[in-house]
Each structure stands twice: as structure tokens, then as C-alpha cells.
Structure 1
């Protein structure tokens, strides 16, 4: 059986290439609204971050998505991102995958 190619994406905080399934997609739409994209299919410019609370906290500290998307984001977005990363980490612990 032929082995499938695993899509890889770069984590914008660490710069590390990782499998797409292990990352969280954050998207900016045409109205410059930035949101977490759990489906990975929202329209707009996407950027990826590892599903890790430490990395999400680092993104908040460094204002990574402000720079990546060229918009000013409030702390509520970063708090939501940290909560979502925590949720995914717990899910991985329970079920072994996302």
C-alpha cells in the first residue's frame, strides 16, 4: 500500500515545521477579523501555531498574530487561543489524537 504524504505547516511562533493536524489554524478574513479556525476551512489568510499552551502564551507575550496579520488584537483573542490550546492538549491526553 502506498504511504500518504503528511501535509506540513510552519508554526509562526517557533518556526518549526509540523504536521498540519498537530497545529491550530488562526485566520484573518477580509474585514480584518482574526479568529481561531477549528475546522481549518474558513476563508481568509491563515497562520498556524502548535497546540501547546506554552507556545500560545509566548504568542501572547510577543504579540505574534498582531505582526503576522498587521492588525491590533486585544488580549481576549490571545486568552481564547490559550484556552483552545489547553482544550486540545487535554483531548490529546484522553484520546491520543486531535
Structure 2
């Protein structure tokens, strides 16, 4: 797997889903993200980060609640949201940052 820092340097937006396996709302977001992936195709990448397996990343990006979504572009966090969100809203934000 690519290193996280390399991954978020992309010209295309990278939507990172910081989640936990025990988190109900995270599970609810899974089909939403799958559908979104189908809609956006190559326009952006969607990456899932398990906060329990990647505690250092969770700490670095101050993840207080899961799910937390951050869109990175060229290494910069350009948007952030904690909690469940509609796929249509995520799609709009990705398009605004494409």
C-alpha cells in the first residue's frame, strides 16, 4: 500500500474515511461510499483508514469522532466533516475540489 503521505499528494481529491470497525454510523456509510465511488469514477480516490489500526494518523489529524471524512488535495486538507453525511453532499464537495 502507498504511504499515506504520498497518497494525499494527489492532484485529484482524495476522500479519506477515518472509521472504526465497531462504529455503527461507519458501517452505515459503507454502502454510501460504495455508491459514491461508482458515481465519481476516476475523479477522486476514496481511502478508508481504520483509526484503531492507524492510531498515529488519527492523532495527527485530530480525529475525535468516527466517521470523520477529510478531503485532501496536494497534501492539504481542504474539507472536513465528522459524522454521517449524504453521498450527494460528498459528491458535491468532491466536485468543488476537483
TM over 0.5: no
Larger relative contact order, structure 1 or 2 (CA cutoff 8 Å, min sep 6): 2
